[in-house]
Amino acid sequence: MYKGSLVTIDDLTNEEIEDVLDLAQEMQKDLRGFPALASGHIMASLFFEPSTRTRGSFESAMKRLGGNTITTSDIRSSSMEKGESLADTVRVWSSYSDLMVIRHPWEGAARLAADFSSVPIINGGDGSHEHPTQTLCDLYTLKMEHGSLDGLRIVLCGDLKNGRTVHSLTFALLRFGAQIIFLPGEGLELPDHVKYKIETEYKTPIQKVGAGDLGALYNTGSDGETFNETDIDAVYMTPSRSHQLTMYQPEMATQLDLKGQNLTFYVTRRQAERDENGIIHGNKSDKYPRISKRALSRRFRRSMVLHPLPRVDELSPDMDSDRRSKYFIQAGYGVPVRMALLSLMTGLKPWRKGITKNSIDSKTDQISVMPRGIRCENPSCVINKEAHNCDPELRLLVKPEIRFSCKYCEQVIVPKFYGTEQGGRKTYNPISRLPFKSRHQLFQFYFFRSKEEATEQGFSRSSTSSRDNPRILEVQN
Ligand code: NCD
């Protein structure tokens, strides 16, 4: 991957995030005060999906810094329409620019772009995977409007499954010690791979709690039905201590106690364009959290409302004049934040706090392998769109259990069985008995998600007992 690219929020350390926010604050004081900083520099913006704020604020930011922009905003106006690969498009555009912002409907597209680019890539949103620069804008808004990134209590509402802004924001908030409450639309809960990452890499258990007062946000308006009895997920972190992943143990709270709390509601729309199963149809009577003056009422008097925008019907226009609403201010902050990011990523301003190791080193304990029988099955992942330009290896994680994750979309595949072929005999066993000492040995094995998958491929259940087949896990690189 091109060093210095920003593909996921994990590519920035907490110190680097703070550098961006500090510099943004300085630049915001006088947006016209840096007219020659990036003179002679060109930013390419490759937008293969609609965008108002991300493209607009990136281009405005580059121009305010005295730089230039070249852009393609429609796949039909580029040679991709003639069958050119994303890899070739990126290769060529990187020779026209000093840095490239890319938005694409495929998950992992930014990662592929970074592999083929000769200049830094900034992910402006890749399918439902991540949107790290929106997170920088969200954090900046929280810092400016809440006063600090410490002690945040934030309710992430709406399409948590497909909302890429939510995924990047969740990981960043965990690193800054926030307490997060997930309030999804029905069927739009956090995807398994994000939950997995929260629990394994961020080492934070997700607890089920009663929705309590938050049930009022599911009020459909038409029949006034509320869902106070609903269970929702929450993660608790040590309050007021950023950069720490020490866990706060609230003795397994069963009901949220939100009285008098300073809450932030981060509202998102249904990502209808990513609706592969037709469950996102925007029916007013759906169980989907909606914010309006009535829903917030006096109960959430001390709250703040953010939204990455665009909104559809989940955020009532009657909130626009409400002092709790900060979403238009949040959109405006996109310019100073992106001015700061561009200045730092092009080396025009120094990273003041220095480059340090990420506090969450998500790559720890991970090695690349090419297991037989298992591949990324996410149809929107770049590996299933442009396989010939992708690395077919998966990441292997062994703790707390054996699993593979796609390098591009990060979706997790948990094999339940492994198979071996010896003297023409094909047998399978539960994964808990997998005996291997080094990654090289992994080539001996096949992996299956289910017994059916194993049987379909001609494997039969091994009769060996677990005693004869001890579990040895010692992975060496
Ligand atoms: C978001 C996006 O594109 O993911 N918009 C944005 O960049 N501000 C949110 C959305 O489209 O719902």
Spatial CA neighbour of 154 closest among 305, 29, 285? 305
Distance 107 CA to ligand 1 centre (A): 14
pLDDT for the residue numbered 281: 54
pLDDT per residue, tens digit, the chain (477 aa), is 557 899 999 999 999 999 999 999 999 999 999 999 999 999 999 999 988 999 999 999 999 999 999 998 776 666 667 788 999 999 999 999 999 999 999 999 999 999 999 999 999 999 999 999 999 999 999 999 999 999 899 999 999 999 999 999 999 999 999 999 999 999 999 999 999 889 888 888 898 888 888 988 986 555 556 666 678 888 875 443 333 444 444 455 667 777 777 899 999 999 999 876 555 555 555 789 999 999 998 789 889 999 999 999 999 999 999 999 999 999 999 999 999 999 999 999 999 875 555 544 445 556 788 888 889 999 999 999 999 999 998 988 877 778 899 999 999 998 999 999 888 899 999 998 887 666 667 778 899 999 999 999 999 998 765 454 545 555 544
- Distance in angstroms (rounded) separating the CA atoms of residues 346 and 342: 6
298 classed as catalytic: no
Cβ neighbours of residue 75 under 8 Å, at least 6 residues apart? 48, 81
Distance 367 CA to ligand 1 centre (A): 32
Q: What is the DSSP string of 216-250?
A: GGG--SSS----TT-EEEEE-B-TT-TT--PBP--
Cβ(189)–Cβ(287) below 8 Å? no
Q: How many whole angstroms from its chain centre is CA 148?
A: 22
pLDDT for the residue numbered 1: 57
Alpha-helix runs per DSSP H in 117-262: 132-146, 164-175, 192-200
What is residue 477's three-state secondary structure? Answer: coil
What is residue 231's three-state secondary structure? Answer: strand
Q: Which amino acid is at 139?
A: L
Ligand 1 pocket: which of 9, 48, 137, 309 to mutate (most atoms within 8 A of CB): 309
pLDDT for the residue numbered 439: 65
440 classed as catalytic: no
- Distance in angstroms (rounded) separating the CA atoms of residues 139 and 142: 5
Distance 422 CA to ligand 1 centre (A): 52
Cβ of residue 309 lying under 6 Å from some atom of ligand 1: yes
Q: Which amino acid is at 414?
A: V
Cβ(469)–Cβ(429) below 8 Å? yes
What is residue 389's three-state secondary structure? Answer: helix
Which secondary structure element, helix H or strand E, spans residue 424, and what is its range?
none
pLDDT for the residue numbered 445: 87
Placement of tokens 């009020």 in the chain: 219
pLDDT for the residue numbered 243: 39
User: What is the chain's Cα-based Rg?
Assistant: 23
Cβ of residue 127 lying under 6 Å from some atom of ligand 1: no
Lookup: tokens for 143? 């810092």
Q: Of 54, 89, 165, 204, which one is the catalytic site residue?
A: 54
Q: Of 55, 103, 129, 403, which one is the catalytic site residue?
A: 103
pTM: 0.90
pLDDT for the residue numbered 356: 53
Find the angle CA(331)-CA(334)-CA(336) to the nearest 5 degrees. 135
Q: How many whole angstroms from its chain centre is CA 258?
A: 27
Per DSSP, 261 falls in state -
Alpha-helix runs per DSSP H in 82-191: 86-94, 109-116, 132-146, 164-175
pLDDT for the residue numbered 218: 87
What is residue 184's three-state secondary structure? Answer: strand
End-to-end Cα, the chain, rounded Å: 19
User: Whose Cα sits closest to atom 1 in ligand 1?
Assistant: 308
Cβ(127)–Cβ(274) below 8 Å? yes
Cβ(413)–Cβ(404) below 8 Å? yes
Cβ of residue 308 lying under 6 Å from some atom of ligand 1: yes
pLDDT for the residue numbered 227: 65
pLDDT for the residue numbered 77: 65
Cβ(189)–Cβ(181) below 8 Å? no
Burial-class residue 9 by CB neighbours within 10 Å (0-12, 13-18, 19+): buried
471 classed as catalytic: no
Cβ of residue 274 lying under 6 Å from some atom of ligand 1: no
Burial-class residue 435 by CB neighbours within 10 Å (0-12, 13-18, 19+): middle
Lookup: tokens for 204? 């934070």
What is residue 83's three-state secondary structure? Answer: coil
Cβ of residue 165 lying under 6 Å from some atom of ligand 1: yes
103 classed as catalytic: yes
307 classed as catalytic: no
Find the angle CA(370)-CA(374)-CA(378) to the nearest 5 degrees. 110
Distance 309 CA to ligand 1 centre (A): 6
Lookup: tokens for 98? 């000093």
- 263 phi-psi bin (left φ>0, alpha ψ -120 to 50, beta other): beta
User: Whose Cα sits closest to atom 7 in ligand 1?
Assistant: 54
Cβ(239)–Cβ(248) below 8 Å? yes
- Distance in angstroms (rounded) separating the CA atoms of residues 154 and 31: 30
pLDDT for the residue numbered 190: 95
